[in-house]
Copies of this chain bind each other. A is one copy, B any other.
Amino acid sequence: MSVNALVSKIREKNNPTVAGLDARLEYIPDHITEKYVAEYGKTLKAAAASMMEFNKGLIDALCDIVPAIKPQAAYYELLGPEGAIVLRDTIAYAHEKGMYVIADIKRNDIGATATAYAQAYLGRSEVCGESLPVYDSDSCTVNAYLGTDGINPFLTECKNRDKGIYVLVKTSNKSSGEFQNRLMGDQPLYVRMAEKVAEWGEDLMTECGYSQVGAVVGATYPEEQKIIRKIIPHSYFLVPGYGAQGATAKDIANAFNDDGLGAIVNSSRGIMCAWKKCDLDYQEAARQEAIRMRDDIVSAIR
């Protein structure tokens, strides 16, 4: 599924947001976890089974109003191989329900190894001439500290399979400026990174006017967002940091182009833990919060 498909879904649902699915046990209502702990004991298998039920429930509750999900790989890896199964099956389930999937993996390596990552998350695995899907996401996040030859294998998958990447440009965390905002010549590193994103994305433009090569730009840095928006007008921004990390809809307005497109805003904890702040069950609470977030953001970018 390409950035074109994402844009269609965003337009159709009038909702430029993505539900982050962090596989954190403390986000799951007790009645789910208790059921699987009773069956499998206090094991990674019980944690994984709980997560799978919770993810499916969230996807069911959100799929008609939210265009995309973003599973965060770290939390699945923390559940070991059982977590890898949940990651794979969550992506497949979201696809069944028509959602676009961003695998938040922030991978990076030298060319040959980057090829393996690109094939694992966007492409296919070759076993004795048989071509098999693995995690089969629509897009993933990547880190480009290693330069172009660690990115090229991802671009190949984008081209051959109509997939996308989001390159870390300016991250949402407090210390992101330590390297990203230091001057490299007369411009900060994040600007140099954005310039490369423009280059990498040039040959991967799609009908909707956006490239398959996007950027991760934290909601917590509205000034940098404005600068990056100008350097890469044709790249989609994946914007973390809304809600739990402190950014408001107003902070995010700079990430969008005048066409009201160009960015997709993530919320993980806000949606997953909405049930903790009200009397609704977790599905209805997640849905209400997703609607509130949609309206909040749509009103800020008008």
- Please list the residues of chain A having a beta carbon within 8 angstroms of any beta carbon in chain B: 22, 24-25, 33, 37, 42-44, 46-47, 72, 74-75, 77-85, 88, 106-111, 113-114, 116-117, 119-121, 125-130, 132, 134-135, 143-150, 168, 171-180, 182-185, 189, 192-193, 196, 240
Contacts and interface: CB of A to CB of B under 8 A. Distances in A.
B110 A108 contact: no
Given A77-B117, A80-B135, A110 B172 contact: yes
A106 to B, nearest CB: 5
Contact of A84 (B33, B43, B81): B81
Nearest to A188: B184
Copies of this chain = 2
Given A78-B116, A145-B171, 13 more contacts: A37-B128, A43-B132, A47-B125, A47-B127, A74-B113, A74-B117, A80-B88, A81-B82, A143-B143, A146-B168, A146-B171, A179-B192, A184-B189
B43 A127 contact: yes
A26 to B, nearest CB: 9
Given A75-B116, A127-B44, A179-B192, A111 B80 contact: no
Contact of A150 (B88, B114, B175): B175
A149 B134 contact: no
A296 to B, nearest CB: 22
Contacts of A33: 128
Contacts of A111: 173
B106 A107 contact: yes
B143 A108 contact: yes
A50 to B, nearest CB: 9
Contacts of A79: 125, 134
Given A42-B130, A127-B44, A173-B111, A78 B146 contact: no
Contacts of A174: 149
Contacts of A182: 184-185, 192
A169 B2 CA distance: 34
A107 B175 CA distance: 17
18 contacts: A22-B113, A33-B128, A44-B125, A47-B125, A72-B116, A77-B121, A80-B88, A80-B120, A81-B81, A108-B108, A144-B179, A145-B171, A146-B168, A147-B173, A147-B175, A148-B175, A179-B184, A183-B184
A251 B175 CA distance: 35
Given A84-B84, A127-B25, A116 B77 contact: yes
Contacts of A47: 125, 127
A134 B171 contact: no
B42 A127 contact: yes
Contacts of A109: 72, 74, 106
A168 B172 CA distance: 21
Nearest to A40: B127
Contacts of A85: 81
